[in-house]
Structure 1
């Protein structure tokens, strides 16, 4: 066991508009602003060191960074970039981080909040099966207003994997 590893501190997410993304996460997932690392009122960070450190193309620049917190679990660090070489959000079938899952108590309520905040569900909530099955255990993939994929997941019933796993998933 590695005593140096504690878990996920935050998840970085690039968004087209920092303020609109903050509003979405606030309305949909009860997030709050913790702090702004880099404000839009500051000069755009387009130095070679910034581009190398972040691994972004030379024609892109860092516009703003904000750390938001959810009621439980890791934070989300929102990034806004400017420049002509920015691609849209990836689909779950593309290489890279596919989605972020948010555990909720009431999946119907959570989906309604995501939609009221401008997001869209891909399909209705679906029962979890196999080693994750249980009464009320469901998931629902949704898209943020800018097209990134999020998952809402609820498992009020203990999941069958617990009977055979050496450790349980981190849980709030």
Structure 2
């Protein structure tokens, strides 16, 4: 048994306005599949002070649906559809807190096509990775916004990353 109980990332959670539309986006853009509905949209709403305490929700927030999605490689995606009295727009990368997640892709043009066909919008064309520890032929990234406003980065590193010359540690790569 290791002295560190952490094994890796299990899932990310995203609150969306329309769980069905968000599910379809992840299916179309990334080939996600529905694993299960923890709280089906057609079921009873989940609300009350217990949820407010456990999830640190604004008082009066109603959890309408919760769904877990599967991605072929990497953590799951847990979608929440909630209605609350004080909901805000998704953050930008310059805001504090969790501001994006990255999806590793092998074919950047095809990934961008799928992302945009699913309703997302890329900010720019793919850009070369410019930080010295990441530079390499073909290593690139591209940020985009989902239809509901979350930011997702597409990243590809077909060339060895220079940082590997200085440490035995490695970034996780599917």
Relative to the length of structure 2, the TM-score reads: 0.95
1:49 aligns with 2:50: yes
Cα distance in 2 for partners of 1:111, 1:44 equals 36
- What is the aligned partner in structure 1 of residue 69 from structure 2? 68
CA contact (8 A) 1:59 1:85 kept: no
CA contact (8 A) 2:48 2:60 kept: no
4+ residue segments displaced more than 2 Å: none
1:36 aligns with 2:43: no
RMSD of Structure 2 on Structure 1 (CA): 1.1
Match of 1:159 among 150, 161, 167: 161
1:82: Cα distance to partner? 1.1
Cα distance in 1 for partners of 2:33, 2:91 equals 26
Structure 1: state its 5+ residue gaps.
none
Match of 1:136 among 120, 135, 138: 138
- How many residues align? The count is 172
Deviation track 1:31-67 (CA, whole Å, cap 9, x = no partner) reads 1111111111221111110111100101211111000
Cα distance in 2 for partners of 1:133, 1:160 equals 7
The 3-state SS of whatever aligns with 1:142 is strand
